Every structure is written in structure tokens, then in C-alpha cells.
Amino acid sequence: MSCGEHHDTDCSEVLAEVWLYLDGECDKERRAVLVQHLDECSPCLAEYGLDEKLKQLLARKCSGETAPETLKAKLRKQILQQAQVSVESGPGGTTVEVRTTRIERSV
């Protein structure tokens, strides 16, 4: 998306990062760039407002709800039965590799 105006940061780039901004996951410098763009660009600001309202609605309606531990364990078991999973932790973070095998069942 582009509003047609020139900005230091492209509208599509800002909108791609708006959820990171809403979640407070941007560093200070990136946050300042996004705020400056939102201050200058009313179409992006409107989109940001919609995303902010959606995030608030989701938090209000879905917060505090978690799946029962028995369901989590059952799903984890089924996934691991159908896939080969490897997990590696290193200085760059954690890498999870999943190799799946397609299982077809006839009814």
C-alpha cells in the first residue's frame, strides 16, 4: 500500500511492522521511525487505528483462556507421532526442524 506521498519510510513497510509496534517489540530507533511515519501519513494512521482496536478486542475476548494441559499433551503426542522433530538451541536462538510424513487413511 502507498498513500501516494513521499515518506522516508514506505507505507507498506510501516504497515508490515505495525503489529511489532503495537506489541512493543521494536527497538527505540525503529519505533521512532514508525511513529514519525504515522504522524505524517493519515491512511497509515487509520490502518494503525484499526489494528490497534482489533488487538484490544482480541486481548479482551481471548485473554486468560488457555487450552487444558490434557489437550496440549494429546496434541503434542499426535504431532510427534506424525513428524520427526529436532530442536537445537544456540547463540542465535532456537531452531526447530520438522520433517513430516503424509499419512492417508481410507474410510
DSSP string, 21-70: HHTT-S-HHHHHHHHHHHHH-HHHHHHHHHHHHHHHHHHHHHTT----HH
Compute the half-sphere exposure of residue 19: CA atoms within 13 Å on the CB side of its CA: 4
pLDDT > 70: percent of the chain:
71
d(C-alpha 97, C-alpha 34), whole Å? 33
> In total, how many domains does the chain have?
2
Q: Which pTM was predicted?
A: 0.48
Residue 91 belongs to some domain of the structure: yes
Q: Tens digits of per-residue pLDDT, 12-21?
A: 888 888 888 8
Within-domain flag for 19: yes
Instruction: State the residue range of the domain holding 47.
Output: 11-62
> Do 76 and 93 belong together in one domain?
yes
Is residue 37, in this structure, part of any structural domain at all? yes
Does any domain span residue 73? yes
Query: Considering the domain boundaries, does residue 107 fall inside one?
Result: no
